Amino acid sequence: MKLSDMRDLLARHDIQLTKSLGQNFLHDAHQLERIVAAAELVPADKVLEIGPGLGPLTERLLEKAGDVLAIEKDARLIPILRERFSAPRLQLLHDDALDFLKRESRDWHDWKLVANLPYSVASPILVELAAGVRAPKMMVVTLQLEVAQRLMAQTDDDDYGVLTLLVQLDFEPRGWFKIPPGCFFPPPDVDSACVCLDRRAAPLLAEPQRKIFYRLVKKSFSQRRKMMLKLLKQDWPRERLEAAFAELNISPMERAEKLSLEQFVALTEKLPLA
Ligand code: SAM
């Protein structure tokens, strides 16, 4: 789908794009091919696409994968998509994807997420999907470069934080590439990147402990510059925390950004279930 085709379609349907819906459509064939290649699609794959827009990625997904479920919030785009695609393998839903994911709580474990996400809801969508045994086996997502850096960050990086840990608990970043603003219509004000995340072969924590991990991470980063032990004392008994820190050789003066994912996991295992 060329830029001229996108412009024609939008003009024919008298559609003005909506900034709040993150409507920056990807028209660059090379970048679309890189995204699809990163998803390593085979005909047996089931793919979830969030925000198909005018369908430049959808058409490639339908070529390479099996079933595609595409969820689009903008009602004006639904008839265009229906007109463009007749494949029975495409299920098109008109819905807010975040509401849908929360409401349906489906099992995505044998699905891949391949999407050029609406930037304003990219992080909550990823956190919602990444959690737990029902998470997709792979997520190949295009989003704001700044968010991509948080997803790939390592301990002590500036971008390391809550999003990093909530997603990396279940996913390992495999690679990424930058997508320049000129590849989109209209070009966004920010840089973009495609990130590839693979679900871990085995979960690092059992299901009941995940809630503790989330609480621990969120509390530890609630005031980034403060010693995390001090912050955690608001939620857990002091003696229990001090013993856990000592057993794990973590200094009581440490700040959250210095602790690795493995240390957060180990600390979670030492804390009582709420
Ligand atoms: N996939 C298309 C492409 O690559 O050109 C469009 C990507 S555009 C960045 C994001 C798309 O997500 C838009 O079509 C927008 O209408 C849609 N969208 C925005 N918020 C959404 C939501 N909460 N749920 C589902 N779709 C949403």
Whole-number average pLDDT of the chain: 95
Per the rule left: phi > 0, alpha: psi between -120 and 50, beta: everything else, 195 is beta
Bridge partners of 139, per DSSP, are: 113, 197
Domain at 62, CATH number: 3.40.50.150
Residue 9 inside a domain? The answer is yes
Same domain, 144 and 73: yes
Residue 273 inside a domain? The answer is no
Query: The whole model's pTM is what?
Result: 0.96
Is residue 101 lining ligand 1, measured as CB closer than 6 Å?
A: no
pLDDT computed for residue 1 by the predictor: 85
pLDDT computed for residue 207 by the predictor: 87
Q: What is the mean pLDDT of residues 254-258?
A: 96
Q: Which ligand 1 atom is the nearest neighbour of the CA of 25?
A: 5
Residue 274 inside a domain? The answer is no
- Site to probe by mutation for ligand 1, drawn from 5, 9, 25, 117 as the one with most ligand atoms within 8 Å of Cβ, is 25
Give the domain-ending residue among 199, 220, 237.
199
Residue 82 inside a domain? The answer is yes
Same domain, 262 and 135: no
pLDDT digits (tens, 9 = 90+) for 138-181: 999 999 999 999 999 999 999 999 999 999 999 999 999 999 99
Q: Which residue has the tokens 């998470």?
A: 135
Which tokens sit at 62? 């339908």
Is residue 22 lining ligand 1, measured as CB closer than 6 Å?
A: yes
Give the domain-ending residue among 139, 174, 199.
199
Q: What is the mean pLDDT of residues 197-226?
A: 93
Report how far ligand 1's centroid is from the alpha carbon of 24 (Å). Answer: 8
Same domain, 183 and 65: yes
pLDDT computed for residue 133 by the predictor: 73
Q: Output Rg (C-alpha) for the chain, integer angstroms.
A: 21
Name the pLDDT band for 83 (thresholds 50, 70, 90): very high
pLDDT computed for residue 274 by the predictor: 56
Question: CA nearest 199: which of 173, 170, 174?
Answer: 170
Same domain, 251 and 154: no
| CA-nearest residue, atom 12 of ligand 1 | 51
Give the domain-ending residue among 170, 199, 228.
199
Number of domains the chain contains:
2
Report how far ligand 1's centroid is from the alpha carbon of 118 (Å). Answer: 5
Same domain, 44 and 133: yes
| pLDDT above 70 (res 4) | yes
| pLDDT above 60 (res 272) | yes
pLDDT computed for residue 105 by the predictor: 83
Q: Can you give the residue range of the structural domain that contains 117?
A: 3-199
